[in-house]
Amino acid sequence: MTTRTSSFWLPILRSRQVGNWLAVAPFFLFALLFLILPTLNIVVGAFRDVDGHLTLGNLVKLFTPSIRDAFWLSIQLSVLTAVLGCFFGFMIAAALVFGRLPGGLRNSMLTFCGVAANFSGVPLSFAFIATLGRLGFATLILRNWFGVNLYATGFDLISFTGLTITYLYFQIPLMILIILPALEGLRKEWSEAAASLGASGAQYWRMVALPVLWPSLLGTLALLFANSFGAVATAIALTGSSLSIAPIVLFAQIRGDVLNDPHLGYAIAFAMIALTGVANGIYIFLRMRAERWVK
């Protein structure tokens, strides 16, 4: 009887497994066509010259002053926006979790963060130009209503400072979305136990909460670094070629009319993939440690 029952259900289970694999097949096809194969093409192209011969010359060119300075500027921009994004995002997320704000405000804030974290590229650049450009809405209000000429103070949207402010628009919401579950995972019993032992609020955060949150904070910092370092469309749309950072140099090498060296562009892209890959690996590792702490 058992053998007959097993033989009856086995084809059904197999058909369900086949159906499940067919359901996820579009995802694997999409990943293969738009992620895996292009990445392999970049890696192979970084180690070949124009004639298709193997070479390390493209990687050696990465240490030329112009490209090296572009990577250093991108690293500075990514570190600054990651640190500021972590700081302000953590403060806002803590206010949402522990600030006893109205439920409607919290839900509206989370909805906005979900949209803003994915708002980048040309639309984001246009929004900031329309707001903080020389004839932007906020710029004219400050000048006509309050007598403050923003650009007379040395501010320029098409600069390192302007790009930093623009990147923070999606860095801070991303930090809020990622760190919010970690803050909600802090158990109320921990603060009550610390208070019963005579610990102040600052001592609780310094000795209990922050050590638990530390892996999540460092992991999110690494993720924000990778997110900023890989932002290409926003930088190109906002600054054009006036600010020499790695994504813009990459665009110039692949699509430019003057600095057209596709294989050097592949090498630059390969270096960017390596840096963002390391940052994402750090994030995944620390995220796993953070989940273990919460459990």
Mean pLDDT of all residues belonging to the chain: 84
Which pTM does this prediction carry? 0.85
Give the pLDDT mean for 220-244.
Answer: 86
Q: How much is the pLDDT for 1?
A: 47
User: Within a domain: residue 17?
Assistant: no
Parent domain of 163: 56-294
pLDDT bucket at 92, cuts 50 / 70 / 90:
very high
Region 219-223: what's the mean pLDDT?
90
Residue at 25 is within a domain: no
| Cβ density class 87-105: b for 16+ within 10 Å, e for less | eebbebbbebbeeeeeeee
Specify the CATH number for the domain of residue 141. 1.10.3720.10
Residue 158's φ and ψ, nearest 5 degrees, are: -90, 70
Q: Is 78 a residue whose pLDDT tops 90? A: yes
Provide the domain count of the chain.
1
Evaluate whether residue 247 is within a structural domain.
Answer: yes
Q: What are the tens digits of pLDDT across the range 177-203?
A: 999 988 888 888 888 888 888 888 788
Output the pLDDT for position 118.
86
Kindly state the average pLDDT of the residues 29-36.
87
pLDDT at 257 over 80: no
Confirm if 269 and 197 have CB atoms less than 8 A apart. no
Fill in the amino acid letter for 115.
Answer: V
With cut-offs at 50, 70 and 90, classify the pLDDT of residue 225.
very high
pLDDT at 10 over 70: no
DSSP-based three-state secondary structure for 102: coil
Which pLDDT score, from 0 to 100, does residue 287 have?
77
Looking at residue 264, its pLDDT comes to 86
pLDDT at 85: 96
Residue 4 pLDDT class (50, 70, 90 cuts):
low
**pLDDT tens figures, 158-184:** 889 999 999 999 999 999 999 998 888
Higher-scoring residue by pLDDT: 242, 124:
124
Cα distances (angstroms) measured from residue 41 to each of 38, 59, 195, 276: 5, 16, 58, 17
Q: Does residue 71 carry a pLDDT above 80?
A: yes
Residue 152 belongs to a domain = yes
* Highest mean pLDDT of the ranges 129-133, 190-194, 234-238: 129-133
Tokens 């006893």 correspond to 100
pLDDT tens-place string over residues 263-289? 888 899 899 989 888 888 888 888 777
Amino acid at 192: E
Residue 79, in any domain of the structure: yes
Cα(16)–Cα(247) distance, integer angstroms: 45
Given a cut of 80, whether residue 156 has pLDDT beyond it is yes
